[in-house]
Amino acid sequence: MDSPSSVPAWVRAEPARLLGFARGAAHPDGGFAWLDDAGRPVLDRPVETWITCRMTHVFALASLQGADVGAQVAHGVAALTGPLRDAEHGGWYASTALAEKRAYEHAFVVLAAASAAAAGADGAQALLAEALEIVERRFWEPAAGRVADVWDRGWTRLEDYRGANANMHTVEAFLAAADVTGDPVWAGRALSIVECLVHGEARAHGWLLPEHFDPGWRVRLEFNRAEPAHPFRPFGATVGHLFEWARLAVHLGRALGPAAPSWLVPDAAALFETAVRHGWAVDGRPGFVYTTDFAGTPVVRTRLHWVVTEAMAAAWTLHQATGDPAYLARFAEWCEHAETCFVDRELGSWRHELDPENRPAATVWAGKPDVYHAYQATLLPGLPPAASFAGALLRRG
C-alpha cells in the first residue's frame, strides 16, 4: 500500500467528516431519509431502499473501524427486515411508496447485509442469506450470466429491459458477499457479469460501455435519447460508470486470485483511459461530463460528485494494481478538483451536482441524499488491497 504521504490530509480526514454529516439520517418511520443540502432529513419523501442500504453499508464500514454507530447499523437492518421487506411475496420494495422489485435495490440489500454481517449486527447474517437467495432465484439469468432488472411486486411481470447499472452494483454486492461468506460462487457470478459487459460489450464499443439492452441482451443504443439526464438510465455512455467498472474489475481480480483471467487489469485500464479521454475537461472547464454519445461527444455536461469520487477510486486502485505513477498523478489531480469544487465545508458532505461552469445546480439530484460514493472513495486509500470494503476492513482488523 502507498505511504500516507501519497494521500492528501483532507482525504484521510474525510470519512469521519462525512460520517458526522450522515449521523442524523435516520427516518422516524424506519430506514434512512434523503438528506437536503445541510444534512437535514427530508421526511416528506418516501424512504428509498437504495438510500437505506447505502447508508447502512456506510455505517457498517464505520463500525468496523471502531466508530460508535452500532445503533445506526441496527436501524438499517431493522428497516430491511421490516417495512422495506415484502413479507407476503418476498424481496424488497423499491421504496415505501413503490412496490416493484428492482435488481438495483436488491444488489444494495446484499451489500448492506454483507457489511452489517461483517460488523456483527444482529440479524444481518440471515438478511444476507435471504437477499442472496432472492437475487439468485428471481434476478439471475443463467443463460445470460447477468441479472434482469425490474419485476412487479408479485414476481409475475418482468420489465422488457436489461441494464448495466443494476449489474454493476450486483458485481459490487457479490464481491462483498464472497468476502464475508467465504463462498466463491459469488465471485464466479461477478466474473460472469464483468466478462459479458466489460470484456464483451465495452470492448466491442470502443470501451464506451452501452448501458441499455432488450430482454435478449441486444444493445439499445438509442434508449432514453429524449431523457438524456436520467439519474439511473441516461442516454449514451456514463463516464462515472466506466471508472466504477474499472475499479470493480481490479477488485474482482483480487477476489479470484490466481484464477483471475489475464484481461481484467488491461480492460480496467482501457475503461479508465476512455473515461479520461472523453470525460475529463473536454468542454474547456475542469470536471467530468455526465454522459457522452457513442462517438465520445459530450451529451450531458453536468458535473456530478459521484463521478469524480469514482475517478479518484479507480485511479488509486489501478495504481495499487500496476504501480504506474500516472494513476497516482491523476488521483492527486482529481482530489484537488474535488476539494476545490465539490467538498462543502460550510454545509457539510459534498455538493452533489454542479453545472458546466462548476456552479451548484440541482437538475439531476436535489440535496445530498447519502454519503456512499464520497465515503468509499476517501476511505479506500487507507485500506489494504481487497475485493470489497468490508473484506479490507476485516483483513485489517
Active site residues: 241, 373
Q: Which residues pair with 163 in a beta bridge?
A: 212
Q: Which residues pair with 95 in a beta bridge?
A: 48, 98
Per-residue b/e over 44-54, b at no fewer than 16 CB within 10 Å? ebbbbbbbbbb
Residue type, 347: L
C-alpha cell of residue 34: 434523503
Phi, psi values for residue 354, rounded to 5°: -130, 155
DSSP 3-state of 233: coil
- Cα 344 to Cα 282, 349, 376: the distances in Å are 25, 6, 17
Contact 110, 174 (CB under 8 A): yes
Torsional class of 37: left (φ above 0), alpha (ψ -120 to 50), beta (otherwise): alpha
DSSP string, 364-386: S--S----HHHHHHHHGGGS-S-
d(CA 166, CA 107): 7
d(CA 145, CA 171): 12
DSSP state of 6: G
d(CA 5, CA 8): 7
Q: Where are the beta strands (DSSP E) in 214-351?
A: 237-238, 291-292, 298-300, 303-304
